[in-house]
Chains A and B, each alone.
Chain A
Amino acid sequence: MKIVVCIKQVPSTNKVQLHPETNTIIRDGRKSVTNPFDTYAIEEAIRIKEKTGGKTIAISMGIPETEKLLKDAMGRGIDQAILLSDKAFAGSDTLATSYTLSLGIRELMPVDLILCGKMAVDGDTAQIGPELAEQLGIPHVTDVIEILEMKQSYLICKREIDNGYQLLKVKLPALLTVLKDINMPRMPSIEGVLQSETIEVIRKDARDLEAKTSKLGLSGSPTQVVKTFVPERDSKAIEISGNIEEKAAKVKNIIGEVLGNGRSQD
């Protein structure tokens, strides 16, 4: 079984800062983490490998600093890591990102399974999974919460849908995007970290991938962000003051108003 995990680096806690004039995100490679959902994809890949044997590979398209996160994935048990990095990839929308990732993954073929997170917490589109599957010409399933069976030619998984679940049998190779409920990620182990020190992250640029320049980065992105702005927030919170009894009484009144007066009595 050869399993590829797609991981993205995203800004870490409270480090998201807006440029005061341009309102654009100030990105800082040192202050970033693996997209939370992707840590579950990493864990799932390792678990499958532990059961069926095979090889796990992490791949990311990102700035050179992303290497640190790929090393961390190897510390947890991923066997090999690939970083697709090139100035030409900058400004990619989901179509250009999924195209670039598809080139990196094609070189690894045959692959049995590709795992992505449900969504990245910055761009927040949840589109990469299905777009990547289409670019690779393989089936995809989004929002997977459990893999119940893993066979050579197919898998059975449980998928969360609006207001319910689906149980699906999926032919391999396939791409799944996973939710947090799927597992509990482990921490990197000491042996893992030591092992990962000895393995180089493989770097590839646009030329290595023989990419079509017109499909990369900003120029290969059909969508363009033309404006960003901070949403207006109503900052006129009414202060509830007084001693503690008075505060409670006022809150009780507000609750009554908001929920309709009969509500809290039934």
Chain B
Amino acid sequence: SINKKRTKTINREKTSGIWVYAEHKKGVMHPVVYELLGKGRELADKSKHKLTAVLIDGESSHLAKELIAYGADRVILCSHVLLESQQDEYHFDAMTTILEEEIPSIFLFGATSFGRSLAPRMAARLQTGLTADCTRLEVDDVSGNLYQTRPAFGGNLMATILCPDQRPQMATVRSGIMHAKEPDYYREGMIKRVNYKGKIKPNIEIINEIIGEKKESIGDASVIISAGRGIGSQKNMKLVRKLADVLGGQVGVSRPLVDIGWSEYPHQIGQTGAVVRPQLMITCGISGAIQHLAGIADAKTIIAINTDPEAPIFSVANYKIIDDCIEVLKMLIDSMEKKQS
């Protein structure tokens, strides 16, 4: 399936190492950037390439030093007042200007809302491949090929993806997946400045931006008590709420409970709901369908309560209780409350 015609068009000699897109907001670096630099450093050392961070901004060039401390050999710095806000179109245009001079072999982006919008647009412009939400990245030092492993089908399947004939090989990675290295502020690196003219006429205007006013999201909760169809009736949802309150946590549900109106969509966990990563999760009457499991893969400790010993939820749980979840909930609330008084 290798397309010969296209193979000719890439000149690997001209590709320049591994790049990381340094996303930041008003001078504050997004933590995923340091994680990507940690991974990028590893890949660069293995394949004997240079690691470059691309910094597009208004004028917060102090961030360049940070990027070097976290592992970059070089920072490509493109500054212009128009690049101060995260206006996608200007950033995209600036990125295009940079890529006219050189093309990386590997280009990593954070899977943030900004990165998930910019990276695919860039990939289509460059007519290259982009692998979404990678959880593992390994480089073959001979071919320079990047083995990109990612979950698909809601986490039920892992796929390893290659982009053998095109450069750059682009990938997005969610935050919290890779590990940042300790910064070394004595590290030295180079800064390359790229001029930006800002001549495009943007089609999108940011009228307003509201940060930090999002509804309380279960994606950030450290304790979640979740309920599925096995909860039996809407009135039993009170028990779930109660235990969540006692533990300072939040309530999560499987999709059927949203469909029948016992709960609301923001509480839905799973492939078409929220992805959660709590320290502790207690599931009550949830069977563990793959679409549900897709949302809880990153939960630290799962205690699952289900009457069916064969319930698939038990295959991902740390502790299992084969019993009626209502009884267990009642007893547990009782004993937790006793402890407090």
Residues of A within 8 A of B114 (CB): 161-162
Residues of A within 8 A of B247 (CB): 255, 259, 264
A109 within 8 A of B: no
B1 within 8 A of A: yes
B304 within 8 A of A: yes
In this complex, the member of B203, B209, B247 whose beta carbon has the largest number of chain A beta carbons within 10 angstroms is B203
Residues of B within 8 A of A210 (CB): none
A229 to B153: give the CA distance in the assembly, Å: 12
A218 to B129: give the CA distance in the assembly, Å: 12
B195 within 8 A of A: no
Residues 94-130 (chain B) with a chain A CB within 8 angstroms: 112-114, 116-121, 123-125, 127-130
B30 vs chain A, min Cβ distance (A)? 8
Assuming the A-B contacts A37-B272, A134-B121, A237-B318, are A248 and B152 also in contact, with contact meaning beta carbons closer than 8 angstroms in the complex? no
A239 to B309: give the CA distance in the assembly, Å: 10
- Do A223 and B162 touch (CB < 8 A)? yes
A91 to B154: give the CA distance in the assembly, Å: 19
A91 to B3: give the CA distance in the assembly, Å: 14
In this complex, how many residues of chain A approach chain B with their Cβ under 8 Å: the count is 87
- Do A94 and B210 touch (CB < 8 A)? no
Chain A positions 112 through 136: 1 when the CB is less than 8 Å from some CB of chain B, otherwise 0: 0000000001111111111111110
B76 within 8 A of A: no
Residues of B within 8 A of A238 (CB): 318-320
- Give the contact stretch, choosing among B14-22, B182-190, B333-341: B333-341
- Give the contact stretch, choosing among A45-53, A78-86, A140-148: A140-148
User: What are 16 A-B contacts defined by CB distance under 8 Å?
Assistant: A121-B154, A122-B152, A125-B133, A127-B123, A132-B124, A134-B125, A224-B163, A225-B159, A229-B157, A237-B304, A240-B320, A248-B331, A254-B301, A258-B280, A259-B223, A265-B340
Which residues of chain B have a CB within 8 Å of any CB of chain A?
Answer: 1, 3, 5-6, 89, 112-114, 116-121, 123-125, 127-133, 147, 151-166, 203-214, 223, 246-248, 265, 271-272, 279-280, 282, 289-291, 300-301, 303-304, 314-323, 327-328, 331-332, 334-336, 339-340
Which residues of chain A have a CB within 8 Å of any CB of chain B?
Answer: 11, 13-14, 16, 18, 23, 25, 36-37, 91, 93-95, 98, 121-135, 138-143, 156, 160-171, 174, 180-181, 214, 218-231, 233-235, 237-240, 244-245, 247-249, 251-252, 254-255, 258-259, 263-265
